[in-house]
């Protein structure tokens, strides 16, 4: 079977994810190739979650095994977490919960937990350590108890990775975004999902979306603003966008506060096709100030000072 070209829309999504630079954060060389994490010869497919942008040098190193597949998965997860036109904290310390088992297919699990120096944020660190351990137990359950017995294991181990970005960190709040990637051996492609958490500090308290607003119509307003933003370039299916932006709490559950305003993440299949990857919309503070909880209006001032 001859190898077909990577579809244009998938290649574009992979390059946009990496900012048209090498996906390895310490490299970022601007001339890049699109690399298959699991070789095409095994998958016979061009799936978005199996593709990553690499410069020619890193591409050769990956082909030689100097950069292994687990590392490439983590680089891609970190890219997917941070995608968007906003600054993130790039020097955040972390530790890793990991586990692997040999076998056919075997499994690999790797989850990054942020490590905070400030004592008040230890409870946030505890939350994500608990989340990582819960996902590890779910990963074990799938591998040992739930995986189909008759599946053909052809594409590597069962895999779960979790990587995060600190979207905004000030003396008043911290907002964190995780990208979780899960792949079961033999599946056509993996599944990505976003998990977000935002906390006020002094004392630490978790913010739900509803806490941000003083208007009962906030979901209708968010629905309107996100639809306008997603449809403005004319490249998306309007029926799909409208379904994924219905004024329901679950549709806007993946949110972060960033210096520019409210950042909303829509995972694959929600407002666009799988190949397009996660979609990110930022709504400015100026568009939200009239409906924001007056007790939280100080947050917008943090972006100026």
- pLDDT tens digit string along 202-226? 899 999 999 999 999 999 999 999 9
User: Do 285 and 303 form a contact (C-beta atoms < 8 A)?
Assistant: yes
Q: Are 156 and 121 part of one and the same domain?
A: yes
Return mean pLDDT, the chain: 85
| Total tally of structural domains belonging to the chain | 3
Pairing verdict, β 191-200 and 205-206: antiparallel
Domain encompassing residue 202:
73-207
Q: How confident is the model over 185-195, as a mean pLDDT?
A: 76
Q: Are 195 and 223 part of one and the same domain?
A: no
What is the reported pTM? 0.75
Q: Cα–Cα distances in Å, from 238 out to 152, 242, 245?
A: 38, 6, 10
Q: Are 164 and 263 part of one and the same domain?
A: no
Last residue of a domain, one of 207, 225, 253: 207
Q: Are 218 and 267 part of one and the same domain?
A: yes
Last residue of a domain, one of 207, 229, 248: 207
- pLDDT tens digit string along 237-285? 888 899 999 999 999 999 999 988 999 999 988 988 776 778 889 999 9
């Amino acid at each position: 079977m001859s190898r077909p070209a990577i579809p244009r829309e998938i290649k574009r999504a992979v390059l946009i994810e990496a900012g048209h630079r090498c996906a390895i954060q310490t490299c970022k060389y601007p001339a890049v190739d699109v690399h298959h994490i699991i070789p095409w010869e095994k998958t016979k497919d061009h799936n978005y979650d199996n593709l990553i942008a690499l410069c020619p040098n890193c591409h050769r190193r990956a082909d030689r095994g100097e950069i292994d597949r687990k590392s490439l998965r983590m680089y891609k997860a970190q890219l997917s977490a941070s995608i968007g036109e906003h600054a993130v904290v790039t020097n955040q310390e972390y530790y890793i919960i990991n586990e692997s088992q040999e076998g056919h297919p075997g499994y690999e699990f790797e989850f990054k937990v942020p490590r905070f120096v400030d004592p008040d944020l230890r409870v946030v660190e505890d939350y994500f350590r608990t989340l990582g351990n819960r996902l590890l137990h779910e990963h074990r359950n799938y591998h040992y108890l739930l995986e189909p017995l008759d599946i053909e294991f052809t594409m590597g181990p069962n895999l779960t990775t979790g990587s995060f970005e600190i979207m905004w960190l000030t003396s008043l709040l911290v907002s964190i975004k995780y990208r979780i990637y899960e792949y079961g051996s033999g599946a056509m492609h993996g599944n990505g999902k976003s998990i977000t958490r935002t906390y006020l500090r002094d004392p630490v308290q978790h913010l739900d979306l509803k806490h941000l607003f003083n208007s009962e119509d906030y979901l209708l307003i968010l629905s309107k603003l996100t639809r306008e933003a997603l449809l403005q370039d004319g490249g998306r299916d309007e029926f799909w966008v409208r379904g994924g932006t219905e004024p329901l709490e679950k549709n806007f559950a993946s949110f972060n506060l960033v210096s520019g305003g409210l950042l909303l993440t829509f995972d694959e299949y929600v407002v666009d096709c799988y190949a397009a990857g996660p979609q990110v919309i930022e709504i400015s503070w100026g568009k939200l100030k009239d409906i924001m909880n007056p007790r939280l209006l100080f947050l917008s001032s943090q972006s100026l000072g």
